[in-house]
Amino acid sequence: MATLTTITGSTSQCISLSLNAPIWQDVLAQAITGEFLAAMNYNSLSEICTDPEEVADALEHAAIERGHAARFAAEGRKIGVDASNNVEAKHWKRLREAFLRCIAERDFIGCLIVQEIMLESFAVASYARVGKVAPGSLGQTFAAIAAEEEEHVDHAMSILRAERALDAHRFDDKVYRLHLDVMTTLAKMLAKECKDGHCEVCHESCVKPALFDVSLSAAELRGASLQHYLRTLDLLGIPGEITLAWVAQLPV
């Protein structure tokens, strides 16, 4: 009986995957783009680090993110789709530019805030949601990468908490400035509808309306991402009433 259940389950997964392959293709394309962007960010970060240990850490993180991108691409191949990336797509490009401004100012803390607090919140929360509904190895890969991303945030959190302890007011101001820049772009990406036209990552039309077919929704991915972001800011010690207003003011 166990074998029969396994076979039946596996067959229905195959049917589901092939039917919904175009949806997963776009979901994977967004994830791969995000991972490549993260790899580029960590490479850039390594260039402003002075401590050799920090340089090595940044390069290691870049390699890990490239590894994630490769694992997502492999999942695409398994279901017969080419999940390509586009780090030049308008929203992703803006996120990269925000990070590069921190690099230009040799602002190590700013870089950590953008990458580890903002972009990773988005990645961890949305991958975890996809991991819950995507069938088979596709779901397992998303869930595993979500867990790995969450793990490496811990190191950055301890650095950022120490920085905030030195001057909370200045630190919170910096987070807010970066929030306006980065989270406004992320909020547009996470909006239920892409109001600024095609995102330049989805292969054809916007994937968001089709997410319901795979038990996901743009609203859920946005909610989970912003919730994760708020909780991460809580862990940094920024007062909840302040961060609530920040998030409430984001575009929808």
Which residues bind to another protein, rule: CB under 8 A?
192, 219, 222-224, 226-227, 230-231, 234, 239-241, 243-245, 247-249, 252
Least CB distance to another protein at residue 231 (A): 6
Least CB distance to another protein at residue 208 (A): 13
Instruction: Give the nearer residue to another protein in terms of CB position, either 194 or 230.
Output: 230
Instruction: Give the nearer residue to another protein in terms of CB position, either 119 or 238.
Output: 238
Q: What are phi and psi of 36, to 5 degrees?
A: -65, -40
Instruction: Give the nearer residue to another protein in terms of CB position, either 204 or 241.
Output: 241
Least CB distance to another protein at residue 239 (A): 7
Q: Which amino acid is at 212?
A: F
Instruction: Give the nearer residue to another protein in terms of CB position, either 165 or 252.
Output: 252
- Using CA atoms, how far apart are residues 15 and 249, in angstroms rounded to an integer? 42
Instruction: Give the nearer residue to another protein in terms of CB position, either 40 or 230.
Output: 230
Least CB distance to another protein at residue 86 (A): 28
83 by DSSP, 3-state: which? coil
Q: What is the DSSP string of 169-204?
A: HHHHHHHHHHIIIIIHHHHHHHSSS-TTS--SSSSS
CB atoms within 10 A of CB 108: 19
CB atoms within 10 A of CB 144: 15
Q: Are 83 and 142 in contact (CB under 8 A)?
A: no
Instruction: Give the nearer residue to another protein in terms of CB position, either 74 or 244.
Output: 244
Q: Is 103 exposed, middle or buried (0-12, 13-18, 19+ CB in 10 A)?
A: middle
Least CB distance to another protein at residue 74 (A): 32
Q: Are 65 and 39 in contact (CB under 8 A)?
A: yes
Residues 6+ apart with CB under 8 A from 244: 230
Instruction: Give the nearer residue to another protein in terms of CB position, either 6 or 249.
Output: 249
- Using CA atoms, how far apart are residues 184 and 91, in angstroms rounded to an integer? 10
Least CB distance to another protein at residue 223 (A): 3
Least CB distance to another protein at residue 150 (A): 16
